Structure 1
């Protein structure tokens, strides 16, 4: 069976992503969620001409050197001056308060001289100065946040300003994880002479949690057909939207996952990808559940999740796929093979801005180099290698 190109594999996965399902959440629950419907303003903000300063509101034409104006009242936030302002008059005003009818400028209090109920100014008046016009922030009907936006604190703040008590967001999938391998033990336990610590499920859970309603870890299953069938049956019974296995995805004598998944009704779309690290990647479906079989080597597992599962989850939530970064190389890259290479790299400062500094380590079990990396250089198939200073495509590792 030939190796499937990365782009074709991703296209096949995305073809199985269901349409966005909308749910409503309160503002307190909305941070980090992806907006499913645009946030539209239903009122003007500010809803009136508002003062941007503590000072005095008046007609600019009335202000001149030595001219005294009569202070006829006060306008403050939540308590506007009730009348109109006429010639030769001023109103004491505070930041955020409505500008009285008839006034066309505000002069800050530091440039005012007050004596009893009169005031004069040490600065010239400019029409419109220090006034926030009605609708200056946003106007009725304006799209404040587009659908597909992941909501940050800044978008939550504007939603609150727009009087939106709830938001329509994309419903997140429920994800299940199953790790396989006789050699695996949970972190924090003593290691036997032939054992290694299981890291995949922990790394994957942390990576996928921002996209998921729940991430359920179904534990470690040994390389035994009966136990594997039982644990995978339990995982499927929980009706996850996405089930991810790690390990056993190849075709060795102890790589049992593929056959058990097929026996449990999974229709396999593909299982070998033209990339490194991470060639033995499986993808299939069981009813409405998407099934990913990731390699057991921890770097391969994490990188195949970055390259394939994260785009699938972004599509699930209606969040647009980010464009690749274009960065200069801080050091040369070696020649590549026939498989697309997702090369670990550091993001470093250079004289010309941010640079991609390749990490020479390519071992698919070398987790410390992956922890050091901030991005992946996407090296095309048969790339002859690029010199320092060449422009390359890169993927940030920790971006949403």
Structure 2
């Protein structure tokens, strides 16, 4: 790849030389390949890891045909057609303590939920549906064989593929694997991701404040975003000033150690914005402008086998572009079979929303119910890309489509809840 992308400036129209959000997302995923390498880990460390090999069931789940309710186990052949039948209660079956004898005709066994059915039994009647008297069970008509029974292998059969390779492990998956008696899983190795902040104006926490300077927030936001969704190995690339040689050295060093570099700042059109130049010289650049607000300057490329994302410096734009472009690519890079795209849902605008056609906007919103209990959404107020407090006050993005103009109160908009992202 060569660095031949037209140079924009601040007075370009929104569409000049830019990719739509959808096109940029597709190009990023098309250029992203999965890492190699795997490891065997304890199951309790498996949350948010990605399976390297499929999990198959070594046994049936449930392992035994068992009772779905508390009641009485009996033979379906003993169910009456018209009048009550009278069965002798011969014992009790508990979960973990099954009744050891076969059930003969005319017999019943008291049984608790989860207890295996005695041999010969195929039906369980709830205790509220029968009458117990002097050691006998009175069974009314109207029941069918097989009631209230969970069959062996009803959930999983021995040899069945339970989870495919590339599956992203969530809490129910850990329980599912545990139900098979497995203690370990084979997962893809952790993705190695480096975080870098760039700019002469960036200060580390603890340094004395000075005019024209600001404390680095982007690495902290990105670190939290990464740790919430993926089991990655983080490398802190620190803060690099606006020095082309130092930037090139830092990127080259990190690319030798990492699968992905995420840098913030230095991708605009200022004379000291060196990230694009360094990226083009060290590897290649796919694109660096997207029709999105906030976050238009976004550099995507590679340094050798290491993917590179150059995000804007403004803290809200960093999070918007991370969630929309970087996170899906990280899942694919980490070896996930499917790239999760969080769902949106419609809500009515509670106020007028400013919007110009020609770009997709991610405004910060607050969801609430109207008097009829329907979802509506309002903004957090000022939507500047440097107002990080708008992210803390919000609980969703209001996603306004590329070609859409201003939104009037009561119109439908799409919202993306933070709960699906963070």
Whether these two folds match at TM > 0.5 is yes
**Number of the residue aligned with 1:399:** 420
**1:343 paired to 2:360:** no
Q: Offset at 1:298?
A: 0.9
The equivalent of 2:354 in structure 1 is 334
Deviation for aligned residue 1:104: 3.2
Aligned 8 A contact 2:347 2:377 in 1? yes
In the other structure, the counterpart of 1:82 is 100
Change (3 A) 1:282 1:129: same
> 2:156 maps to what in 1?
138
Change over 3 Å in CA distance of 1:169–1:387 after alignment to 2? farther
Match for residue 296 of structure 1?
313
Matches within 5 A, 1:226-265: 226-237=245-256, 239-263=257-281, 265=282
Aligned partner of residue 305 in structure 1, secondary structure: helix
- Structure-to-structure mapping, 1:112-261, within 5 angstroms: 113=132, 115=134, 118-121=135-138, 126=143, 127-140=145-158, 142=160, 144-145=162-163, 149-209=167-227, 210-237=229-256, 239-261=257-279
2:41 match: 25
Structure 1 unaligned residues grouped into runs of 5+: none
In structure 2, C-alpha distance between the alignment counterparts of 1:305 and 1:70, rounded to whole Å: 65
Q: 1:256 to 1:68 in 2, by over 3 A?
A: closer
Distance 1:319 1:398, change over 3 A: farther
TM-score (norm 1): 0.86
**RMSD of aligned alpha carbons:** 3.0
* C-alpha deviation, 1:50, in angstroms: 1.1
Q: What's the counterpart of residue 281 of structure 1?
A: 298
- Is the CA contact 1:62–1:87 (under 8 Å) kept in the aligned structure 2? no
**SS of 2:27 mapped into structure 1:** helix
CA distance in 1: counterparts of 2:141 and 2:46, whole angstroms: 47
Secondary structure at the aligned position of 2:59 is classed as: coil
- 1:264-313 per-residue CA deviation (whole Å, 9 max, x = no partner) reads x1212222222221122111111100111111111122211122101211
Change (3 A) 1:219 1:42: same
Q: What is the number of equivalent residue pairs in this alignment?
A: 395
Q: 2:86 & 2:320 partners in 1: Cα distance?
A: 73
TM (normalized to structure 2)? 0.82
Q: Corresponding residue for 1:48?
A: 64
CA distance in 2 between counterparts of 1:277 and 1:390 reads 22
Asked if residue 369 in structure 1 is aligned to residue 390 in structure 2, the reply is yes
Shift of 1:79: 4.2
Q: Which residue of structure 1 lines up, in the alignment, with residue 10 of structure 2?
A: none
Query: 1:176–1:125: structure 2 CA closer, same or farther, 3 Å change rule?
Result: same
C-alpha change, 1:45 and 1:112, in structure 2 (3 Å) is farther
Instruction: For residues 168-205 of structure 1, give each alpha carbon's deviation from its aligned partner in whole angstroms, at most 9, with x where no partner exists.
Output: 44444210011112222223443223321110000011
Cα distance, 1:217 vs structure 2: 1.3
After superposition, what is the alpha-carbon deviation per residue over 1:79-126, rounded to whole angstroms, capped at 9, x for unaligned? 4333321123233434322211222333556766475xx333487784
Partners of 1:19 and 1:295 in 2: how far apart? 25
CA–CA distance in structure 1, aligned partners of residues 18 and 70 of structure 2: 69
Question: Is there any run of 5+ residues in structure 2 with no aligned partner, and where?
Answer: 1-5, 7-16
Contact residue 74 and residue 108 of structure 2 kept, 8 A: yes
